[in-house]
Amino acid sequence: MNHKIKLSLLSLSILVLFIDGCASLKSRSEKLTGTCAESIETFSAGNSVSGRVIEYTKLGSGSNVILMFASIHGNERAGKPLLNKFQTYLEENCTLLRGKTVIIIPVVNPDGLAKNKRFNINGVDLNRNFPAGNRENDKHGGSFALSEIESYILYRLINTYKPGRVIAFHEALGCIDYDGPAEEFANRLAAKCELPVHKLGARPGSLGSYVGLELNLPIITIELTKDDSKKSADQLWRDYKDMLIESIN
């Protein structure tokens, strides 16, 4: 059998298994106090290679959908506490959610986070594993697009909720990068914090390439600084609160 046909059949088989395993996004019931109790839910979107749960929270039910995530690279840890603080803030200030749905995924790569490693447990860079036209099939990009369950889960969430914008948290280049039609949006966010706008360019197989170039949607990459990894959640919140609020406006 032709090698390419074998690879295509393998890809199809794995995707079918993923779809079957994630046929319905399972909700973990949480009773929250306050006026937003009915519009805030936390879900399990599936499990990592090692079986760790990948959770996300859906806040609000409006037509303006914003998807935010962190720790697709396990050694980039500052985005998780920052998004957790933002989620708490939105729960306590639910008027900000009017007309919006905010999807928050604090950790995309829980296995990498547990080991403080960039890649997932299979040694694949999840942010090179998306079905973009510029992707490369190799050791760190994966043998084919969406070969990894973690990147597939993020891909599935994007295609389920169809956000109008995506915001990714990385570190530690200390800038605001963007792909797709997002230059004006990036400038607005930069005006609310100390990070400058710096166009890094679409990396092969990255989510920026997939969302920005293939789907033609605005995607912002917040590259936190090296010092941010040493800050407490409260310090991060003080530095980036205004930028985060602006990101959903």
Q: Averaged over 62-85, what is the pLDDT?
A: 97
Q: Averaged over 37-56, what is the pLDDT?
A: 92
CA end-to-end distance (rounded Å), the chain? 53
CA dihedral 58, 60, 62, 68 (to 10 degrees): -40
pTM, entire model: 0.87
Q: To the nearest whole percent, how much of the chain has pLDDT over 70?
A: 85
Statement: residue 109 has pLDDT above 50: yes
Task: Compute the distance between CA of residue 86 and CA of residue 240 in angstroms, rounded to an integer.
Answer: 10
Task: Compute the distance between CA of residue 235 and CA of residue 8 in angstroms, rounded to an integer.
Answer: 47
pLDDT at 228: 97
Number of domains in the chain: 1
pLDDT at 110: 98
pLDDT at 47: 98
Interval 118-164: pLDDT, tens: 999 999 999 999 999 999 999 999 999 999 999 999 999 999 999 99
pLDDT at 147: 98
CATH number of the structural domain spanning residue 241: 3.40.630.10
Question: Tokens 């919140």, residue?
Answer: 237
Statement: residue 24 has pLDDT above 80: no
Statement: residue 245 has pLDDT above 70: yes
Statement: residue 17 has pLDDT above 70: no
Q: How confident is the model at residue 35 (pLDDT cuts 50, 70, 90)?
A: low
pLDDT at 200: 93
Write out the two tokens for 232.
């407490």
Statement: residue 8 has pLDDT above 90: no
Which range of residues forms the domain containing residue 160?
3-247
Range in 37-41, 59-63, 94-98 the model is least confident about: 37-41
Q: Averaged over 33-38, what is the pLDDT?
A: 50
pLDDT at 10: 41
Dihedral sign for Cα atoms in the order 181, 183, 188, 193:
positive
Q: Averaged over 12-34, what is the pLDDT?
A: 44
Closest CA to 166 of 211, 106, 196, 125: 211
Dihedral sign for Cα atoms in the order 43, 46, 52, 54:
negative
Question: Tokens 């805030």, residue?
Answer: 40
